[in-house]
Structure formats: structure tokens, C-alpha cells
Chains A and B, each alone.
Chain A
């Protein structure tokens, strides 16, 4: 029996989709990309060229939903399928595009550079709880023109896991696809076995910017999976009601899917997002708020009702340090996401509303993820009788069950064995091993991981070609050479 969280009944799901379709007609969607408007007009949508507003009839929406793939996979460097989009598969990746990293010794939130991203990649590479890498922080030691693709470059050098990424301009998305194609052995090969999914963001409320719509079109035509990251901000950039925001999310995703499928039918796309409630005291976007998680769970349920692959931003916190708030918000987020059956849950490692990444938080969050994954594994019936078969030879003594063969056989399946970040020691044992709190244990764990890290074995031609490709782009951006990388400077 697998547990499942459903915050909406069927009637509400139907009403959300119905009202989302109404929104696509009134007020319509603002589409700031000319090619997208043209595609929509050709399909029969009513385009107001003066105000850039497009009204999309429901039948166009329904047609697009018919051609979207129900599932697809992401592959690792070797070409093995590792991430399943679609159905109730639950997977996690670190939160992405932070601009800061937490320095564990000083607690400074430092502007991120190459060495910081490399640390994050190494930690995410070592932890099985992360099914994919993300391009987790922007490296400020390279020029702005390289910001998006340089992150991808480092991930490709330091990990062989699948990648959740995204481009920052309509031009660089093509360069990033080129980079992935170098490792895949060509664009066709990449299309057959995509290693990465690209996040694409509409702008709330109901706007597809020139950039956002341009990404949808480029990715659809390249056959590289796109992941819509719709960001309603309940009470500011979307209705204050959670259900109103879920409906706006649906309208933004549906219109995105229409543009995407019109550019290339059958291209893979994900029903995803990074919504939040609007904090009415500080004006912030609390990703650790329970209502944020409720919006995520609900829109995922809507996406699933349409048979689409899903994504959400959960497991992050507003806290600035690795403290109790960080733990409770991240853990609850991971659990809600897992129980909602969301295919890719991004956000781990993130402090301060997705601004600051922390490898120490990544190792801690990994424990919450493992617990959430255990939870959705559910109650399992391992034996013919639930209990009566266990009592033979039991002599009313406390340790009797510890001596049963079946205990040894099943304990690892029944119990998740937490890593060293989780303390279950006696008071005495805890004191004797240094009276460490979670953050101190996490710092040690990160050091251990970094010390034992080994770079994946990459084909030397691939690596040289990728390096030459990125170096050429660096030259165009006015950089004479790429930053020196400590343990891996490809020739």
C-alpha cells in the first residue's frame, strides 16, 4: 500500500482546469514573443497584436494535451536511464541557480564562484538521494555571458548524473544543447537519450515573455525536455487564495504547453513550478511555508489528472543558517512532495528563499529525502501472517525477535538506516563522540565526501571537445582563459 496525498477532490480538479481554460480566453495570455504569437494565430487563437494578448480557445488546449508525452526518461553520462518523468516516480535534485553559498566556518553568505559550485556538485554526486544534479549556483568568476552554460560545463565535468538546468538567454540555450550533444555523440543521440531537462519560466500573472516563449520553441524543436516553472505568488502576482493560485498555475502551464506543442508536437514537457505564498509581513517568497507546499501538491495533482510529468520546488527554507527552522521546513517540504508523487522535486540545499546553496544542507536534506522516500514506500506485507508466524520459540523475553533469521533478512527493508548526520546515540555516546549538533555533523560529512570524491571517467575526446567549445565561447565573451579548476583541468 503506497500512501498518497490528495488535497483536492475530483470536482475541484475539474473546476481548476475549467477556470484555467476560461482564463486563457479572458483575460487571455500576454505573449511577448512574435514567433509564438504567430504559431498561436495559425492554430486559431485570437491575437491582439497591439497589446500582445492572445486568447486561446479550449479546443487548442485540448489538442496540445493530446500530443504531450505522458512520460520520458533522463539518462546519465553512460546513457543509462536514471530519472523517470511521468507516473508517480519521486525523485530529487538540489535547488538551482543560487547566487550565494554558505561558508560553513564563518556562516557568511558568499558570492558563488566555480569552486563553490564544484563542491555542491561533488556532494550531490556522492549522495544517492539526489537522482539528478542541478546547475546549482551561478559562478561569478566568469563573465555574465557565460553564466548559464558555464554551470552546465562544470556539472558535465564533475558528475555523470542527469541534469536539471536552464538557459538565461535565447541564444545560450542552443549552446547548452550543443554542449550536451558533444557528450551524447550528436543532437539526434541527445534527443533519443536526453541527459538534461531545461527549466522555462512564465512570468506571473499569465505572461510568456519573449525569453520564456523563445525557450519553449527552441527546446521543442530540439526535442530536449522542457520543464515549465510557473511561479504564482499568492496574494501579489496571483490570487491570494491557494486555489486561485493553483488555477493561475494551470493557465500558465496550459498556455506554455500549447506554444511548445505548436512548435513541435510530441516534444517532452513537464508540468512544474516554483510557486509561493506572498509573505504579508516582509514581502518575501517563503518556499518553506506549508501553504507553498499545499499549492505545489495541488497543482501536481492537477497535472497528474491530465497525465503529465510533474515537478515542484520543495525542501528549501527561508532560514539563513542550518538550524531547526531549516530542518523542519525542508523535511516537511520533502515529505509533502514525495507523498504527492511529484516526479522531480528541486530545492534541497537552499537557504534564504533559494538564494544561497549549502553543501552542508544538502547532506542534511538527503536524510529528510531518504525518510520521505521510505514513507512513500509504504507499509509492506512481507510475510504470510502479519505476526503470528513470528512467535515460535519466543519465550516472553525482550530480545527474542533480535535472534530471528527473518529479523536479519528484513530489517534493512523495513528500516531506513540513516547516515551519520542523524543522531540516534545515547547521551553518553553522543558526548563521547564530541557533543556535536546537526550542523557540526553535516560539516564533517561534507569533508568526508569531498575527501573521497573521484571524478567520473569521461571519454578524453568528449572532454577535450567540450573544453574547446566552452573556451571558444569564453573568448567571444572577452575571457582569455577559463578559471583554473583544482583537480580537473582538461587539456
Chain B
């Protein structure tokens, strides 16, 4: 790798670490001008930054705003590179399609939105339905977009039972194990996830990315 290229990749990673969308977009454009394969820009440049911030967050060294801004900068860079990827016919290999929602009766979404940002930044195609979503809406959307994963959030002990309803409904319709289910939210525990037969749960957004990769069989990606 030429020194110039190496420096560019390093700057790309840094723009994500700094959570600076303006610079990440600028560097994405620069890489197009330099005829750098957009996939290289993503995997050798920007993704390095996302992984770094994720690790720092996991270690308690980085905080939520840094995580979110890194995700946003990543999304912006990928959006800039996307037309180029399509033009070259080498669309970034998707990690999978995910439907995210906060369950019916619950309007809390900061954690879920964060999971969405991090999943997008890590190469998932995320459809975020928002809050207060009944089971049929969530399942209907998953079928419609051929999702491989549903992620459900609940903040209240009174609404977490809705997670079980969605899973039971999916089982009734024979949608599992083709579509995997992950659950999250403040009251959710590993025991609860096991009890309602979810495929997994995570404590935070960084863990959710790791879990999602495992569930779609791409743990090494």
C-alpha cells in the first residue's frame, strides 16, 4: 500500500473516531476521485474507526455521544460511496436486513435507535419502525423486506411481555429459525431472553452488533 493511501485510510478511520461527518464525506469523495475501490475505503478505512470506538466504548473509555457520532459519520461516508458501489456493480456485501422496533405500548427508543445506528455502521440494512409497534406490523415488515433479523426493544417491565407475543406469533407462522430474534432494553436479562425463546440479547449497542453478526452467521466479519 502506498504511503498516500495508507495516510488516507488512517484519516478515514480518524474521521469516524472524531465523529465528524463533514470530514468522513469529504474523504469518501476524495477516495472516489483517486479511483480507490469504494469497498476498500469502507473496510480498510472507515470500518477501522467504527471498530476502534466500539472497543473503546466496551472498555468504558468512550461514551454514548462518541458512539452515536461515529455511527453517523460512518453512515454519511457509506451513503457517499453507495452510488459508486452500485455503478461498479460491487454493492457492499450486506450483513443482512434487520427490522428494529420498540414493542406495542412502549415509546422508549434512545437505546433502540442507537442499536440501529451501530448496525448500519457495521453493514446491516436497517429498517427502524420506531416505537409502539404491534406484533403484526413488525412481522409484516420483516416478511416484506426479507429480513434475516428482528430486534425488539422494551423499557418497561409491563411491556417486555410483548416481546414474547411477537416470538410466539412468529413461531405460529413458522417464520423461525429463518428469521432470528434479538431483544434488548433496560429490564431485559439473559434469563428473560431464554425464557421467551429469543435467539439472543445484548446489554448495549456494541454488544448488539456482535450478537447480530453471530445470529446471521457472520461473526468474523
Contact = CB atoms under 8 A, between A and B. Distances in A.
Interface in B160-212: 186, 188-190, 203
Interface residues of A, number: 16
A432 B203 contact: yes
Given A398-B109, A399-B110, A420-B60, A429 B66 contact: no
B65 A399 contact: no
B92 interface: no
B60 A403 contact: no
B110 A426 contact: no
B95 interface: no
Nearest to B203: A429
A407 B65 contact: yes
Interface in B62-118: 63-66, 68-69, 72, 108-110, 113-114
Contact of A403 (B69, B108, B186): B69
B209 to A, nearest CB: 17
Given A398-B109, A428-B188, A408 B69 contact: yes
A397 interface: yes
Contacts of A428: 186, 188-190, 203
B65 A398 contact: no
B123 interface: no
Given A399-B109, A399-B113, A408-B69, A426 B63 contact: no
B54 interface: no
Question: Looking at B60, B65, B66, which has the most chain A CB atoms within 10 Å of its CB?
Answer: B65
Contact of B68 (A397, A398, A403, A412): A403
A397 B203 CA distance: 22
Nearest to B60: A420
Contact of B109 (A397, A412, A429): A397
A408 B65 contact: yes
Contacts, number: 41
Nearest to A426: B186
B109 A405 contact: no
Question: Looking at A405, A408, A420, A429, which has the most chain B CB atoms within 10 Å of its CB?
Answer: A408
Interface string A384-409: 00000000000001110011010110
A399 B114 contact: yes
Nearest to A415: B63
Contacts of B110: 398-399, 402
B38 interface: no
A417 B65 CA distance: 13
Contact of B64 (A398, A402, A420): A402
B68 A402 contact: yes
A411 interface: yes
B91 to A, nearest CB: 26
B151 interface: no
B45 interface: no
Contacts of A402: 64-65, 68, 110, 114
A403 B109 CA distance: 14
Contacts of B113: 397-399
B49 interface: no
A368 B60 CA distance: 20
B63 A411 contact: yes
A411 to B, nearest CB: 5
B75 to A, nearest CB: 10
Interface in A5-61: none
Nearest to A419: B60
A417 B186 contact: no
Nearest to A410: B65
Contacts of A407: 65, 69
A377 to B, nearest CB: 19
A398 B19 CA distance: 20
Given A405-B69, A432-B203, A417 B63 contact: yes
Nearest to B109: A398
A199 to B, nearest CB: 38
Contacts of B109: 397-399
A173 to B, nearest CB: 46
A205 to B, nearest CB: 52
Contacts of B66: 408
Nearest to A398: B110
A412 B189 CA distance: 30
A408 to B, nearest CB: 4
A38 B111 CA distance: 75
A412 B64 CA distance: 11
Contacts of B203: 426, 428-429, 432
Contacts of A399: 68, 109-110, 113-114
A399 B109 CA distance: 7
Given A399-B110, A402-B65, A402-B114, 13 more contacts: A397-B109, A399-B68, A402-B64, A402-B110, A407-B65, A407-B69, A408-B19, A411-B65, A412-B63, A417-B63, A420-B60, A428-B188, A429-B203
The 10 A-B pairs with the shortest beta carbon distances in the complex, nearest first, are A399-B110, A408-B65, A399-B113, A407-B65, A398-B110, A402-B68, A408-B69, A428-B189, A411-B65, A408-B19
Interface of B: 19, 60, 63-66, 68-69, 72, 108-110, 113-114, 186, 188-190, 203
29 contacts: A397-B109, A397-B113, A398-B109, A398-B110, A398-B113, A399-B68, A399-B110, A399-B113, A399-B114, A402-B64, A402-B65, A402-B110, A402-B114, A403-B68, A403-B72, A405-B69, A408-B19, A408-B66, A408-B69, A411-B63, A412-B63, A417-B63, A426-B186, A426-B203, A428-B186, A428-B189, A428-B190, A428-B203, A432-B203
